[in-house]
Structure 1
């Protein structure tokens, strides 16, 4: 196990198995020195722990809970990277993170939700985890997920 996987373990986390695609795509593609990770849902053991739109109203997924789920998305994205680059110590930079938040129309806190993913990348990869990012509110996500995260990672040969 390398330094990155040691940091993951030190955080009390375990890399999951890569989730099976929901349609006609693959979880990650290595193209030269870039890994393009398909959008990752907050699946835990193949199921969504929570579904629905994010917002402040009763009956919606609370923003703090959605932030936790974004962390799960990030962990799933790291597992997808490892599926095409078995040594995570080869990651030189998390280049770009795009977070999608299924949002109640009045909810504008998408950046705070996606911070859950960004912070995990920072804890796991250190300075190499600092990245450009978009946080986008959407009407709905696959399977009713509250959040989805996609990533582009630069790796060394």
Structure 2
């Protein structure tokens, strides 16, 4: 399994920045016998051998630097595993408002579902009550459908097209 592009890009960004700030590492980073894919495999191998579920960024980046520093670290094979990269995401105020609204909608839906579950079996209705509730539900659906059909259509450019009412269809 190859390292994901996001993982490789995160390692590369760190190493590029370090090379720009540290002349000695910049020379090490140019070694022809080293490459980013093998570096990422080495980092994943170190993580797997460490046996932990997670590592600090400094430790992971330290393994990447070690790979380039040490000439005897080579021919590293791909390691199977999953990498989670910590990233901060900047949201616009509109995106924050949308996320908040979506979260509220989800919370309300969850609360409604919980309330339904809590009420199951606790409310007893007579046959007359059930009949009344069913009729109210039917009436509501019928009213909503009537409302949809009688709403004024949106104004659009329809040159040469007569409204349905003028054609005598309704």
State TM-score, norm by structure 1.
0.22
Q: Which has the higher strand share?
A: 1
State TM-score, norm by structure 2.
0.21
Q: Between Structure 1 and Structure 2, whose CA radius of gyration is higher?
A: 2
